[in-house]
Structure formats: structure tokens, C-alpha cells
Amino acid sequence: MINNKARWQPALLAASVSAALQGMAHAQSVPPTPDNTDGQVQEVVVTAQRTASLESRTPVAMSVLTGEQLRQAGLDQPSALAARLPNVHLDGAAAALKITIRGVTNADTTEKGDPSAAFMVDGVYLARPTQQNLSFYDVDRIEVLRGPQGTLYGRNTTAGAINVITNAPSRQLEGAVGVELGDYASRKVNAMLNVPVNDALALRAAVAANRHDSYLINGQGTPYTLGLDRDDVSGRLSAKLTLSPAASLLLRADHSSVRDNSDRIVPDTNFYHGVASGQPTWYDASTDQRLTNGFVPPNTRPEQGYDHKTTTGLSAELAWDLGPATVTWLGAHRRFDNHVLFNYYYRVKPTFAIGVHQNFDGVNTQDSHELRVATNGNGPLSAQAGLYYFREETNTLYTFRDLALLGLPPYYVFPTGPTIARSKAVFGQATWRLTDRLRATAGVRYTSDDKSRVGSTNFQQGPVFNPATDFKLLNAADLDTHKNTWRLGLDYDVTPTTFAYATLSTGYKAGGFNDGCLAGSSALGIPCPAALAVPASTLYYQPETLTSREAGLKTRFWDKRASLNLAVFDYDYRNLQLSGVAIVRGAPQYVTTNAGVASVKGLEADGQINPTIDDRISYGLTLLDAHYVSYTPDGVHSWAGTKLDRAPSNTVTAGYEHRFLLASGQLRAGIVARRSAAYIIGVPTQQLRYTIPARTASDATVRYQPSGAPWSVQAQVRNLENKVQPIAIDSFGMVVPSDPRTIAVRFDYRY
């Protein structure tokens, strides 16, 4: 049996756990943070507006999950969060994270595409969706902002923004170790150690390792393992240096290694009949049947798939309090290496599919800098302004094999590089206190983006290009776009515990280009004659823009034992960037086009109720009408009125937790369930619309902690119903299914 999985790095884990345990041996037990004894809904401090404020006083529709909430719910990667977030889908589709917020999404995860939602770690933007489905460990909180954030966060935020904020070094000696075991051979280990070295320096180290076997069943008759598995090791070292009473420097270095399997797919016929007729119809089947890849290619044999990723990041944040204002500089460098072998299910005709092997090798580097000045104090005016610079460079090599039935040579190859993206921006936002209770906000950002790429489409007889037998088509383009995004808002303290706001804001996603070249151009020694060129309207696609009108209310009532967050919104959404595979010049290519106009309207309500100090109820309701107003994917058939992807008309979420006080400690038991209406995943290039039926998914947790003890143990079941559904469907008929039911037991020790 071939197995390309790398083993965990035992030396790294052993050293980290040993360090934490040695620290525990010299420290006294510290009891956990005491429970809220008054039953009030706890406040959370956020930085959604780039300055600290209470979440209940921040004029943005947002959700916040603290590190403790993540740990207790067993949420350790982005794709696990969506069940707790209103109007949000976070799907680990193929090898990348697909973010959908209020029906606004993106399908192009290649080096030339951009996401619709900004994903950040400690304020550093991660450009590639393939980098974003990372492990959560030693996290302080996660802030999910819904709606365009074009002023303070910039481009690629038409859907919203997600910021993962990790714990910084503190002045307290502390440590933690967690171990989890579950079905599918799941095992997880994490450790953290925080050491105050002296009055000026504090260090913090954290590591995590996660592994489980594949959720898929191999019905292909091969000895190979399939995907939907996990095998990753991550570590982070942070240092906080106090330079003076007014200045500090925070340094972070992180590294992660992933050795999982790229073959995360099953054919769409595992879920649907009628695909060949253009009318996919859902049918009943068992979960095992859904998760079985029984496709036997008629033209080739599968190979052992793999997906090897390595990520390294360095960042520095300098904060200097000058009295009237604080100056902050945040700089970062990141590198991402990715090597993949993927076995495709490739439908070439409505009733016929072949097997295709894809090899991919890519290296991505990015550098970013932001300089920001924000006023201090409680005067009538608060303001911030800044400069931003971002540069990304990517070199990739895509190789496709076994496409002979399409009339292509044995190797269909896309060497690309460099692809370079630069973004520069200047921004500012100010809030005026008009009265003691009423404030007005105005902000603007100017962004200039330029992208360029050189590469080729190669038709080769062998793995290496031979000028005597092979030929190339040029892929070369460059595009400059710029945009002003802005925000206007009013917020008002209705009562000391009720806050209302209204905003008018915009978002922007940069334009880009497809494969091909303009007539008369040349690069890499390859000319672009008119006979092989593509028109500019095919080569380029335009920026995506969104204008949002939103009003919201955040309130605490019943002596602050209950909360309600309410938002209503209306979007004017233009030039949607939609992607899929199309046949261009007789060969398949991944093409992005603009989709006209869409309308998005909705309502979100969520909150918490604490009837007693031992009972907690969470609730949520979303209503959403997100559809195309004008869009003809093939120039003939109109999709006007068709829902946007992953935009259910309603969802309902409810959770309940009870604390049992025992003689020896406390036991918490809870359940959370989410009911989603049906929604659509569309494949415009194939004129297909797949309906995902309505579904309820539930998670249950039981957690025990002895009185005054530094340890706890918990058991968790996720997806009690054990139902799966597609989370992504591509142009070839490949489906990435959701996870089946999983069970795990976890032990945590903290001091």
C-alpha cells in the first residue's frame, strides 16, 4: 500500500509538551476562570473598527467567538465555525477555504483570483484561500464581520472580513496541554507556555498537531487512501518587548506543515440523478453511499493522491503612544509551498466521465505593511488614517494527464510565473460625537491594484517540453484597477444598554484576467499572433463592487441576562466574478467572467438568554433573499431570479447548556442545532443548478471539571444526524462532501 503521508514531528511535540509540563511542576495550581455568578451576558472587547471597543457598541454586524468558546465547542479550523455564525458558510472545498457571507462568495482559488472576504491572522491578510483553512490554536478570539469592509480593511471585502486574533505574550507564567482522541483514528495534541522573562520581555510558544483518517470510502478497487483526512503540525513563537512606557514591539513567527490527501471528492451522481439531462435531482442514500468514491476511470488508473503544504510567516507590530495619538506599524512576510497530486473525476459528456491526473507545484510569497495613526482620548472627535502596501508573487506549474479522449496530447501543462499582485492604499475614518448619545462616522479609502502574469499553455508529448514535438500558447496579461470605497454611518445610544446604527458602505474586489494573450503581444519568447489571440473582453474581467445599506440594533435587557443583535440589509451587487471550466480554443480552461447584477436583502437576529446562572440559551434567525437580477451565463439562457450560491432563504439556530453543580465539581451539558432551508450551488458554465435540500445539523457536548482543579475532560459528538451534503461542486462533476458524524473525548490541563 502506498502512503505518502508524513508522520508527525515527534521531536517538536515532545519538546513543547515537556516544556509546558516542566513549567507546571514549578507552578501552583491556578483554578480556572470563575463562572459568571450574576448570570449576565458577558461583554467582549473587539477591534473590528481597528480600535478597541465593546462588541455591543460597535456599529458592525459581527460575530465573536472567544478562544475558550472555541476550545469548549471543539472548533479548531475555519470550516468548523459556520454552524455558529449567522448567514455564513465556511467550506473546506477541495484544498482551499470557500467563504460565503450573505450569499456573496468566490470560486476562483487560483493564483490569479481573489476571495470576496478578507481572511486575516493578527491583522495580516492571507491572500490565497489555500492558506486559509488553517488550524486554530492558542487563539484569543475570532471576529467575523458581515457586510462590505472596504474602508478600514480594503479590497476583497465585498462579503466581509474574518480576523483570527491569537494570544499575545503576557506578564503571567502560564501553560496548557490538551489531548483529544476520537473515531476515524482522530488524535490531537496542543500545548502552550507563556514566560515573562523580565520586566521588558515576555515570550509565548504554542504548538498543535491534528490527525484523523479519511472520511471517504474507497470503492475503486485500489489500495490507495482517499482524502477528507487530516495530518498537520503547527507552531508559533511570540515575543513582546516593552521598549518604553509608551512603546512596545510584538514579534510573531509561525510555521505549519500539512501532509493530507487531495482526493477529497466523490462524483455528483452520489447525490443526484438527472445530471445528464441538465436537471440534477436529489435522491435518498445512506451516508456511506454518499461518501464512497466508486468511480473506475475507463482510461487510466488512479494513483495515490497527496497534498503537501508548508507555510511560514513572520510579523512585527510596533505601537507607540504619542499622547494625542498612537502610531502603529504592522509588517509581515509569508511564504507558502504547495505540492499536489489529484485524481479527477472529469465529466467530458453528460453521460461519460474519464479519470485525469493533476500535478501541481506552487510557491507563493507575500509582503505587507500598514502604517496607521489613531487618536487617543474621549474628545468629540476620534479618527484614524493610514497607508497600506501589499505585494504577492506566485510561481506555479499545473500538469494534467490522461486527456487524450479530448484530442489533447499526453501532457497538458500550464507553467505560470511570476504572477504578481500589488496593492497600495490610503485610508481614513473619523467619528464625530454630535451629542452625548449620537455619533456620525465618515470614512474613505483609495486603492490602486495592479496584476501581471506571464506563462503558457503547453501541449506536450512528455513531462518535459520538447521544442521539436511540442508547442506553446502564450498566457500573458497585466491589469491596473483602482477604486474609492467609502462608509457613512450614524449610531445612537437609545438607552444605556441599547445601541442602534445605520450605515451606507461599499466594497470592492480587484479585476483580473484569464488565460490567453492580446494580438501582437509577446513574452517568454512566445509571440501572440492574431489567429491565436483572444479579445480583451475575454481576456479580462472587471472589478466586483457592492453597495450596502444596513441598519442594526444591539441590546442587553432583562437586567443584562439577555441579548439581541439585529441587522437588516440591502445590497446592490454588481459585476459578480463567477468562475468555471469552459472549452477555449478546443481545450478546457478555467475562466472567470462578470455576471451582471444581483440583489441581496436580509435580516439577522441572534443573541443569548441566561434564565439562571446555570442555564444558557443561544438563538439565531436569518432571512435572506439573494438572487441574480441580470445574468446570462451562455449569452442565451437567463438566470435572472436564480438564487446566489449558498444563500438559503432562512436558517434557525438554537443552543442550550446547563451546568450541574456536583459535590466534586461541575458538569456542563449542551447541544446546539442549526436548521437551514434549501439552497443552490450553481455551475454556470455547464448550465447546472444543484439544490441542497433543507437540513438540520446538531452538536452535543458534555464537560466535567472538578472543584478548584486545573484540569477538565469533555466528550463531544458533532453532526448527530450523521447526514452529509455537498459543500462544493465543480464544472467536472466533482463533489466535496461535508463531514459525517464524529465523536471525540478531550482532556485539558491548565495552570
* pLDDT (0 to 100) of residue 13: 37
Q: How far is 678 from 193, CA to CA, in rounded Å?
A: 45
Residue 94 in domain:
yes
Q: How far is 296 from 218, CA to CA, in rounded Å?
A: 11
3-state SS, residue 482: strand
3-state SS, residue 557: strand
Q: How far is 62 from 49, CA to CA, in rounded Å?
A: 11
Residues in CB range of 684: below 8 A, 6 or more apart:
578, 580, 595, 631, 633, 639
Residue 5 in domain:
no
| C-alpha dihedral (177, 182, 188, 190), degrees to nearest 10 | -20
Answer for the pair 412, 400: CB distance below 8 angstroms, yes or no. Answer: yes
Nearest to 193 by CA among 176, 179, 171: 176
Q: pLDDT below 50 — which residues of the chain?
A: 1-34
Strand ranges, E, within 174-324: 174-182, 186-196, 201-212, 217-218, 230-244, 247-260, 266-267, 272-273, 281-282, 292-293, 306-321
* pLDDT (0 to 100) of residue 37: 57
Residue with cell 435522491: 283
Residue 3 in domain:
no
* pLDDT (0 to 100) of residue 133: 84
Number of domains in the chain: 1
Which CATH number do you get for residue 173? 2.40.170.20
Answer for the pair 411, 462: CB distance below 8 angstroms, yes or no. Answer: yes
Q: How far is 432 from 319, CA to CA, in rounded Å?
A: 24
**82-100 residue pLDDT tens:** 778 999 998 877 678 889 9
Answer for the pair 318, 108: CB distance below 8 angstroms, yes or no. Answer: no
3-state SS, residue 18: helix
Residue 14 in domain:
yes
Strand ranges, E, within 558-694: 562-574, 577-584, 587-594, 597-612, 615-630, 650-661, 665-676, 679-683, 688-692
**662-709 residue pLDDT tens:** 999 999 999 999 999 999 999 988 889 999 999 999 999 999 999 999
Q: How far is 251 from 238, CA to CA, in rounded Å?
A: 6
* pLDDT (0 to 100) of residue 580: 79
Residue 1 in domain:
no
Residue 597 in domain:
yes
Q: How far is 345 from 264, CA to CA, in rounded Å?
A: 11
**396-409 residue pLDDT tens:** 999 999 998 888 89
Residue 147 in domain:
yes
Expressed as residue numbers, the domain containing 733 is 10-750
Cis status, amide bond into 418, omega within 30 of 0: yes
**Which is it for the CA torsion 130, 212, 140, 751, positive or negative?**
negative
Answer for the pair 305, 262: CB distance below 8 angstroms, yes or no. Answer: yes
* pLDDT (0 to 100) of residue 33: 38
* pLDDT (0 to 100) of residue 595: 86
Residue 4 in domain:
no
* pLDDT (0 to 100) of residue 35: 52
Residue with cell 437609545: 494
Answer for the pair 453, 513: CB distance below 8 angstroms, yes or no. Answer: yes
